[in-house]
Structure 1
Amino acid sequence: MIKNMCLQQSVTSTSLKFYQFGLIGQNAGNSSIQNTSVIFSVQGIYFYYFGIIGLQSSGSINAEVAHLRISVRVNSDLGSFFSSVIGGEDSKNCSILNTTVSGGNISTSTTNYIGGFIGYQYNKVTIINSYISNSKVSGLYYVGGIIGYCQSQLYLINTQIKLMHVTSTTFGIYSGVVVGKDQSGTYSFNFKLLKRRQIN
């Protein structure tokens, strides 16, 4: 459990290696993050997974995050970049439970796969009783208020979105209030959209 924590960090890298970077680099079990404020400023050549949790490989997440700020500048067009609360999700059955993100600002003008909760979703994800408000998500393309790129089943249950600002810096390329790009064809939504702002 991580509780009552404020983290502010600035990282500059000149390496070409892949990264799983965040408050937790890789998580392979159940996590609880409470009353946490995170400010990341990152600049480098290539980052692969980046978020409060870099890569979620199994288990569930229960989080309360206020004042999330992730600002990224990548000086290369090599491959892909994932930025969010969870950078990449690669578990067989991931659950996000009772998670609140308020005052979030995840922004980059040079990279893609950006989401309010998950940057890139590989496998089935269920999001239950979760809430995101007063937040901004912006990126090159594949930008979503909850998930940037959805490759497998997505189930939203009792999830609310309020005052969400989604921006794609590449005109008209895969941006959405909930999901930037859905590749799975299998999803179930039971959520409340209180107020949204989307700019492409």
Structure 2
Amino acid sequence: MGDSKTTAQTQPVNGKNAEKTKKPIWKRWWFWVIVVIAVAAIGGQGMKSTGDQSSAPTTVSQQTTSQQQTTTQNDAPSQTAAPSQSAQQPQQSAEPSVPAEYQSALKQADTYANVMHMSKAGLLAQLTSEYGGQFSQEAAQYAADNVQTDWNANALAKAKIYQKDMAMSPNAIHDQLTSEYGDKFTQSEADYAIQHLND
């Protein structure tokens, strides 16, 4: 009897010991603590790497934005300089107007040259004469240089007048055309008039 009791009492003890030794590791509380810590560590590293990657484009975009701002600032002076240059163009293209005296001298010169058939030297003398236009030498020279006329044609017109109205000979006409006290045409202009006198 004593042996059977001893056996009965020892069997549960042995059963508990067997359960303790046969309990799987995943049912152990310290195993799950380790798993949670490992998962937390892995997740933290993933978040850190993701954060680093997400911060990289931001840095690039910031650099791109700063470069664009720098380019815009560098381009700004050239854009602002264009209006100032265009504003200066009218001032540069604007030429001083011809003085009224010069315009009046040119108008009289046109009458003397194309109506009265004067020579260039005779026109200058008439414009500056105290009995004529009384213009300044500068205004008279401007008028003589800018009047639109044909000096050879003027000499020929004068020669025809002398021949028709005064019955002068070609030699006398030539002398009258070139005389300092006459019409003051050049020798070549007087020669042209005599050559074409009878045309």
- Place the TM-score, normalised by the shorter chain, in its bin: under 0.3
Greater Rg over alpha carbons, structure: 2
TM-score normalized by the length of structure 1: 0.22
Q: Which structure shows the bigger proportion of residues in strand conformation?
A: 1
Q: Which structure shows the bigger proportion of residues in helix conformation?
A: 2
